[in-house]
Amino acid sequence: MSTSTPSEQHHASVLVINSGSSSIKYQLVTPHDGAAVASGLVERIGETAGAVKHVAHGTTTRREVPVPDHGAGLRIVLGLFEEVGPDLQDAHVVAVGHRVVQGGDRFDGPVLVDAAVEHAIEELSPLAPLHNPPNLTGIRVGQALLPDVPHVAVFDTAFFRHLPDAAATYAIDADVAARYGVRRYGAHGTSHQYVSRQVAQILGRPVEDLHQIVLHLGNGASASAVRGGVAVETSMGMTPLEGLVMGTRSGDIDPAVVFHLYRNAGMSVDEIDDLLNRRSGIKGLSGENDFRALHDLVAAGDAGARLALDVYLHRLRKYIGAYHAVLGRLDVITFTAGVGENDDIVRASVLAGLEPLGIEVDAARNDGRKSEPTVISPDGARVTVLVVPTNEELAIARQAIEVVGA
């Protein structure tokens, strides 16, 4: 049964797939207007009780069924498209866009998937062992089930591929670094690129003219410095663990902490990996990884939560200062992602007292959650501060369309 509207029939759409170790997120996007025609999530792949959620035409369909593997998950999703719509034939799907976390030094933009690309994603897996293998699985099952549509890989690292060497290089033995690919690759690049270009559009200025800091503050968090549309610094490193304090990740830490815990706490490397990636950040300090819960604790006088927020803000502020120095002149600071878009306390607190740097926030403009691009600095401020909602799916869809030339 076809439930598509005439506009869906006339405009190309892209199916965007973000395949994780135990989940598949997807969205059917019409890039010309940025609409998410359908979206959904397959969860708990490989567990006894799987869950599928499909949202289309304003209704949500849920299925609680075992999903033994990614192939089964995607088959269920395609079944739901047939059953409740929109019909993928009528939607004129011209490409499938796959999010791939690690493109290493191979990819500085989106590419059509072929055997060599698949091989490269596999070869880069040691640098992103939790992400690249399930990303590749998503590509393979996608190709098997949708063989007539071109598949495009969009890399989270691509926007940062040409960071200046001074920013990308770790000061360790050069031969060891080269042999094992130890350098800074960054992550969240799709979001930083999308948001920095949106900013230029919103301000009506060429991106080439702007010196920007983008703060992607979600559960994972990263900052970037973008000069003239080109990324010149970013806070995530060889992996997403470096940089800002995050929901559950420590961000920057003295690497000797790892040796110390290994030698003296009897922790294995895997346990330390788990500690720093999943039991640290604001969760490690406060017990909560969600900022809404963190603020509730702070309001209730919880000292651990207060410290967690202070550590988070202090780190973020240091990065803003550092990136200001890297850029020399600063024109724009933009907040995005879950915390950046919704948390007016974080936005106001992190920039408080920076007036001498030309950075100001207007309390009334900053107030509340922002689902639309919003300038939150006062008129005439030297640095324009904005909130711009990110949309990684749309960014992936647009890049996929560009690659296939539709």
What residues act catalytically? 156
The CB-of-293 to ligand ADP minimum distance in angstroms stands at 8
| Interface stretch with ligand ADP, choices 31-39, 141-149, 287-295, 348-356 (CB under 6 A) | 287-295
The CB-of-389 to ligand ADP minimum distance in angstroms stands at 10
Q: Give residues with Cβ within 8 angstroms of 396, minimum separation 6.
A: 14, 16, 97, 98, 99, 110, 154, 190
Question: Nearest residue by C-beta to ligand ADP?
Answer: 338
Q: Which is nearer to ligand ADP, 40 or 150 (CB)?
A: 40
Q: Which is nearer to ligand ADP, 12 or 36 (CB)?
A: 36
Here's the x/- map for ligand ADP, 316-355, by CB under 6 A: it reads as ---------------------xxx--xx------------
Regarding 291 and contact with ligand ADP (CB under 6 A), the answer is: yes
Regarding 292 and contact with ligand ADP (CB under 6 A), the answer is: yes
Q: Which of 352, 369, 371, 382 binds ligand ADP (CB under 6 A)?
A: 369
Q: Which is nearer to ligand ADP, 22 or 169 (CB)?
A: 22
Regarding 296 and contact with ligand ADP (CB under 6 A), the answer is: no
What's the rounded Cα separation, in Å, for the pair 286 and 289?
A: 8
Q: Give residues with Cβ within 8 angstroms of 310, minimum separation 6.
A: none
What's the rounded Cα separation, in Å, for the pair 63 and 52?
A: 5
- The terminus-to-terminus CA distance of the chain in angstroms comes to 26
Q: Identity (one letter) of the amino acid at 330?
A: L
| Interface stretch with ligand ADP, choices 45-53, 82-90, 195-203, 284-292 (CB under 6 A) | 284-292
The CB-of-209 to ligand ADP minimum distance in angstroms stands at 28
Regarding 23 and contact with ligand ADP (CB under 6 A), the answer is: no
The CB-of-299 to ligand ADP minimum distance in angstroms stands at 13
Residues in contact with ligand ADP, total (CB under 6 A)? 14
Regarding 195 and contact with ligand ADP (CB under 6 A), the answer is: no
Please report the sign of the dihedral spanned by the C-alpha atoms of residue 2, residue 8, residue 11, residue 13. Answer: negative
Here's the x/- map for ligand ADP, 244-263, by CB under 6 A: it reads as ---x----------------
The CB-of-36 to ligand ADP minimum distance in angstroms stands at 15
Q: Which two tokens stand for residue 48?
A: 């006894």
Regarding beta strands 332-336 and 384-387, do their DSSP bridges make them parallel or antiparallel, or are they unpaired?
Answer: parallel
Task: Return the residues of window 202-241 that contact ligand ADP according to CB under 6 A.
Answer: 218-220
Task: Return the residues of window 112-171 that contact ligand ADP according to CB under 6 A.
Answer: none
The CB-of-387 to ligand ADP minimum distance in angstroms stands at 12
Interface residues with ligand ADP (CB under 6 A) are 218-220, 247, 289-292, 337-339, 342-343, 369
